[in-house]
Chain A
C-alpha cells in the first residue's frame, strides 16, 4: 500500500509564532487517519500547512508523489484535496446550491455529482435555494462535507466534524465519513476520542507543535497510558 500523503518534519509559522516545530504525518492510500491531541496542539495548523493555507518554512509535504510545500493553496487543492474546515465556513451570501457549485473545478461537475451527494445527504436537497447559513449546525456540517465532494478529490481533510453536533447527528456523520473513505483517503482532526477511535485506522498524536506518536488505532485503544498522557481522558 502506497502513501498518498507524506508530511515530514514541517515547521510552520503563523505571523511570528512558530506553531509547528517538526510534524510528521504519513497517510496510506484509502485509509482514515486521525490527528489527535489537545486544544492548540497544532492539528488544524497541520491541515492548513498541507493545503498551503499556512506557510511551511521547513520540511516537506508530498501529496500523490509531488512536493507541494510552497505552492499556492489553490494549486495544491486543485491536485485533488478537499477541505472541510472547522466551523464549516459556509458562504453566507451564497445559497446552498451555490455553496456546492462554487466547488466545481470543471464545468458540469456539480451536475454529474449531484445524485451521489443527495444520496448521502438527502436533507440538503430540500434547502437548495436558501442561504447556506440558515441551515442548522448539523446540516451546515453536511453541506461543508458535500462541498468537498463536488470536485474529484483523492484526499479529504476534515477538521472537527463532530464539534457542536448532537449525538444522533454525529452517528449519521460517522456513517457518511466511513462511506466516503471507500472512495478517497481521509485525514480527520477530532477532539472527541470516541468518534476518532471508531472511525480511524491510523492515528498521529500531536503535542505542542510536534508529532509525538503514530501507529494503528487498535494499538492506541489498548494503550491506556498513552491516551492518558496525551489526550487526558481515556
Chain B
C-alpha cells in the first residue's frame, strides 16, 4: 500500500487536484451547467486523446515525433465527409484505389525477380525511385482522364459547402453516374494496373533484402486477383452501389464513412512508415523536417481538393431527430425518436457530442489498453519501447511491429477526425489546432505513457471547456465584486499555462518515466 502510494503519488495528487477543481467550479455555476461542461470536457478530451494516443504509441516505440499527425486527423475528417456526403465520388474512387493497391500485394513476389539483379546501392536507389515516380506519374495521368464524380470548387452551387448543406437537410443534389468519356474503360483499367505494377516493382527493388524469401507466396497472388475482381465489380455495379449507399439510413452510411476513414489512416500510416520514415530512424531532425513538410503538403492538398472555406459535416440520422418526443427524457426515448438532444435537468445535452463521442473515446481507450496489456503484440510493443535491439535478438521482427504501430496510430487519428467532424465541422486549420492540444496533453501526461496520454487529454479537455463556460457566465473573483470573463484566445493559452505548471513540478509529465 505504502509503495503503491509513493509510486503513484503524482497521479493521486493530480486526481485530487481535479476533484478539488471540480468541486470548486461546481459551486460557481448551476448544476446542469456543471454536468454539461464536464460532459463536454470528456468529449473534447476524447478527440484529443484519439490523436494523442497514436502520437504517444508512435513516439514511444519508434522515437518518431510525427508532426503530420494533426494533418492526418484532418484528412480522416475530409475523407469521412466525402463518403458521407458524396457516396458517388466514393464509389467512383473505389475501383482506381483497388487497382492501384493491387500491385502492392505483389511486392513480395516481385522481390524474387528484382533480387536477381546485382546493383550498386546508388543505382538501385535511382532505378527504384525512378520506377516509383514513373508509376505515380502514369497513374496521375490516367486519373486526370478517369471519370470521377467531383464537386466543383469554382461553382458555389456545386461546391462542398452546398453539398453539405443539402445533405444536412436530407436532400441530395443529383449525383453523377459513371461514364467513361475521356478514356476508354479498358485503357483506364489496364493503365492503372500497369502503373501500379511499375511502382510496386520499384518498391520491391528498394528493399535491401536480396535473398529470395521462403516459398512462392500464393496468398499474395490470391489477394491480387481478389483486388482486381473487386475493381471490376465496382465498375460494373457502380450505379446500383451508389444508389444503395444513398438510400440506406445515414447512420449506416456514417459507419461506412468511419470504416473508410480508419482504413485510409491505416493505409497512409503503413505507407508512410515503410517508405518515408524507415530510412530516417535515428535521425530525429530529419524526421521532424519530413513530417512537418508532409503536414504542410497535406494541408495544401486538402485545400486543393476540398477548397479553402470550411463546411459542416451533417450528423447521422440517429442523432438528428427534433420532432415529437424530443428532446428525449431517457436513453430509450432517444433510441425511439432518434433525438438530437436529451433533456437533462433544465438543460439539454447533445447526444452525439456529449454522449457518443466520450463513449467511443472510452471504448478506444480500453481496447488499446487491452491490446497493450493482454496480447503478444502489446507485449512486444512494451518491450520494444525499452530495448529494441534485445527484442530483435529474441528473433522478433520489430520492423513489422513498427509498421503496425504507425498504422494503428494514424488510424486512431483519422478515426478521431471523422468522429469530431459532425460536432466541430471541417476546416483546414482543424489539424494544426488539435495537434497542439494533443502535444500539450502528452507533455502533461508524460510523452510515452499511454495512461498519461489519457489523463493529459482529460485535463486539456477540462481546462478548455471550463474556460469556455466561464467565458459565458464569468467567474466571481473572491473578495472583490469583479466578474472576470475569459476571452476566447485564453482557451488555448490556458492549456499551455497548465502544461507549464505541470512541467515545472514534474519535468517528465504526470505519468512519465523518471529515467
| Residues of chain B with a CB closer than 8 A to A147's CB | 394
CA distance A103 to B380 in the complex (A): 10
Specify which of A75, A92, A93, A103 is in contact with B394 (CB 8 Å cutoff): A103
Question: Does B249 sit within 8 A of A, measured CB to CB?
Answer: no
Q: A89 — nearest CB in chain B belongs to which residue? A: B390
A93 pairs with B386, CB closer than 8 A: yes
B387 pairs with A91, CB closer than 8 A: yes
| Residues of chain A with a CB closer than 8 A to B390's CB | 83, 85, 89, 91
CA distance A28 to B74 in the complex (A): 60
Q: B396 — nearest CB in chain A belongs to which residue? A: A74
Q: A150 — nearest CB in chain B belongs to which residue? A: B394
CA distance A93 to B387 in the complex (A): 11
Interface majority SS (helix, strand, loop, mixed), chain B: helix
Specify which of B209, B211, B391 is in contact with A102 (CB 8 Å cutoff): B391
Question: Does A151 sit within 8 A of B, measured CB to CB?
Answer: yes
Chain A stretch 160-209: residues in CB contact (< 8 A) with chain B: none
With A89-B387, A91-B386 as contacts: A77 and B379 at CB distance below 8 Å: no
Question: Does A51 sit within 8 A of B, measured CB to CB?
Answer: yes
Q: A80 — nearest CB in chain B belongs to which residue? A: B395
CA distance A91 to B385 in the complex (A): 9
Shortest A1–chain B CB gap in Å is 26
CA distance A75 to B380 in the complex (A): 16
A53 pairs with B392, CB closer than 8 A: yes
With A94-B379, A98-B379 as contacts: A105 and B386 at CB distance below 8 Å: no
Specify which of B376, B382, B395, B396 is in contact with A93 (CB 8 Å cutoff): B382
| Residues of chain B with a CB closer than 8 A to A98's CB | 379
Question: Does B389 sit within 8 A of A, measured CB to CB?
Answer: yes
Shortest B81–chain A CB gap in Å is 39
Interface majority SS (helix, strand, loop, mixed), chain A: loop
With A91-B383, A94-B383, A102-B379 as contacts: A72 and B397 at CB distance below 8 Å: yes
A74 pairs with B395, CB closer than 8 A: yes
B383 pairs with A93, CB closer than 8 A: yes
Chain B stretch 367-426: residues in CB contact (< 8 A) with chain A: 376, 379-380, 382-383, 385-387, 389-399
CA distance A186 to B392 in the complex (A): 20
Among B211, B382, B395, B398: residue with most chain A CB under 10 A: B395
B389 pairs with A53, CB closer than 8 A: yes
| Residues of chain A with a CB closer than 8 A to B376's CB | 101-102
A73 pairs with B382, CB closer than 8 A: no
Interface size bucket, B side? 20 to 34
| Residues of chain A with a CB closer than 8 A to B387's CB | 89, 91
A72 pairs with B392, CB closer than 8 A: yes
CA distance A83 to B392 in the complex (A): 10
Specify which of A74, A92, A101 is in contact with B392 (CB 8 Å cutoff): A74
Question: Does A78 sit within 8 A of B, measured CB to CB?
Answer: yes
B393 pairs with A85, CB closer than 8 A: yes
Shortest B468–chain A CB gap in Å is 37
* In the complex, per-residue mask of B198-242: 1 if CB is within 8 Å of any chain A CB, else 0: 000000000001010000000000000000000000000000000
Q: B213 — nearest CB in chain A belongs to which residue? A: A75
Query: Number of A residues whose C-beta is below 8 Å from B?
Result: 23
Q: A84 — nearest CB in chain B belongs to which residue? A: B393
Shortest B63–chain A CB gap in Å is 16
| Residues of chain A with a CB closer than 8 A to B379's CB | 94, 98, 101-102
B392 pairs with A102, CB closer than 8 A: no
CA distance A131 to B387 in the complex (A): 15
CA distance A203 to B385 in the complex (A): 36
| Residues of chain B with a CB closer than 8 A to A93's CB | 382-383, 385-386
CA distance A103 to B383 in the complex (A): 11
| Residues of chain A with a CB closer than 8 A to B399's CB | 72
| Residues of chain A with a CB closer than 8 A to B393's CB | 51, 53, 73, 77, 83, 85
CA distance A78 to B214 in the complex (A): 14
* In the complex, per-residue mask of A112-148: 1 if CB is within 8 Å of any chain B CB, else 0: 0000000000000000000000000000000000010
CA distance A92 to B209 in the complex (A): 32
| Residues of chain A with a CB closer than 8 A to B211's CB | 71
| Residues of chain B with a CB closer than 8 A to A75's CB | 395, 397
B386 pairs with A77, CB closer than 8 A: no
Among A71, A91, A103, A105: residue with most chain B CB under 10 A: A91
Q: A147 — nearest CB in chain B belongs to which residue? A: B394
Shortest A55–chain B CB gap in Å is 12
| Residues of chain A with a CB closer than 8 A to B394's CB | 74, 77, 83, 102-103, 147, 151
CA distance A33 to B209 in the complex (A): 32
| Residues of chain A with a CB closer than 8 A to B386's CB | 91-93
B392 pairs with A73, CB closer than 8 A: yes
B392 pairs with A77, CB closer than 8 A: yes
| Residues of chain A with a CB closer than 8 A to B382's CB | 91, 93-94
Shortest B386–chain A CB gap in Å is 6
A74 pairs with B398, CB closer than 8 A: yes
Chain A stretch 60-113: residues in CB contact (< 8 A) with chain B: 71-75, 77-78, 83, 85, 89, 91-94, 98, 101-103, 105
B395 pairs with A102, CB closer than 8 A: no
CA distance A101 to B393 in the complex (A): 14
CA distance A96 to B135 in the complex (A): 50
18 A–B contact pairs at CB < 8 A? A53-B389, A71-B211, A72-B399, A73-B392, A73-B393, A74-B392, A74-B394, A77-B392, A77-B393, A83-B393, A89-B390, A91-B382, A91-B383, A94-B379, A102-B394, A105-B395, A147-B394, A151-B394
Binding site for A on B (CB under 8 A): 209, 211, 376, 379-380, 382-383, 385-387, 389-399
Binding site for B on A (CB under 8 A): 51, 53, 71-75, 77-78, 83, 85, 89, 91-94, 98, 101-103, 105, 147, 151
Further pairs besides A73-B392, A75-B395, A103-B394: 16, Cβ < 8 Å: A53-B389, A53-B393, A74-B392, A74-B394, A77-B393, A78-B395, A83-B393, A85-B390, A89-B387, A91-B382, A91-B387, A93-B383, A93-B385, A102-B391, A147-B394, A151-B395
Which 3 A-B residue pairs are closest in the complex by CB-CB distance? A77-B395, A78-B395, A73-B392
